[in-house]
Amino acid sequence: MGFFQFIIDNFLHAAPVLIAALFAIAITIERSRSLLKTYPMKDTKAFMDRISDYVNRNETAQAVAMCDQHLEKPVAKVVKTALLRSHLPDEAIEQGINIALGETNDSITKRTPYLATIANVATLMGLFGTILGLIQSFQAVANADPAMKSQLLSAGISTSMNATMLGLGVAIPCMVVYAFLTNKANKLQSEVDDAALRCTDTLRMRYFRPQNNQSKNLEGVA
């Protein structure tokens, strides 16, 4: 029995696995586009350097405008939140950053775990088809003519193995894609966390720079 013939003959069993595969393909396309193209910033370090320069020159409005140019990027979203609260106490800035980090982390990781779920379900559906095929084949052999037993048993085993192959054929790519996208999401989260820490440090240090400059001037006078 060929694989495609198995799908045709056992479509009611194969349909759930095939539907799960379609969902997996849709999630893979959407998440790959987001994690590989939409969310990453080409040069996060250069972006943060320019933000720091604006903040050090007390040009917060220009820094916010720069973030507005990259609002689809999680890094820019978190930095903008911090900048909009730059006139508030440190606790308020940190609270706003934590809220923004939670939102961006949710957007980075959303839907990716479904791939692991689909992989598990596809594997179980394949095993279910295997057991069902074996049961049907043994029942057919028990009531069949002795001359036909070998042929019926071979057909039943073929159906069982095809069910397993269908489940694994969906599960294995899902797990590979899930591992790849999870790794990419972790890297993005790390970049966002680093940007949040650097922005917080920049906003705090701006209060000390005038004092340091004033101390140097006093030392020069003395």
Read off the pLDDT of residues 44-59 as tens digits, 9 standing for 90 and up.
999 999 999 998 888 8
State the pLDDT at residue 215.
41
CB-based contacts of 26: which residues, under 8 Å, 6+ apart? none
- Dig out the tokens for 61 from the structure: 């409005």
Question: Residue 195: how many CA atoms within 13 Å on its side-chain side?
Answer: 33
Q: What DSSP designation does 35 have?
A: I
85: nearest Cα among 49, 55, 47: 55
Question: What is the secondary structure of 51-81 as a DSSP string?
Answer: HHHHHHTT-HHHHHHHHHTTTTSHHHHHHHH
Taking CA atoms, 32 is separated from 66, 108, 115, 122, 156, in Å, by 26, 11, 12, 21, 39
Q: pLDDT band at residue 208, thresholds of 50, 70 and 90?
A: low
pLDDT digits (tens, 9 = 90+) for 71-88: 899 999 999 999 999 888
The verdict on pTM exceeding 0.85 is: no
pLDDT digits (tens, 9 = 90+) for 9-53: 777 778 888 999 999 999 999 999 999 999 999 889 999 999 999
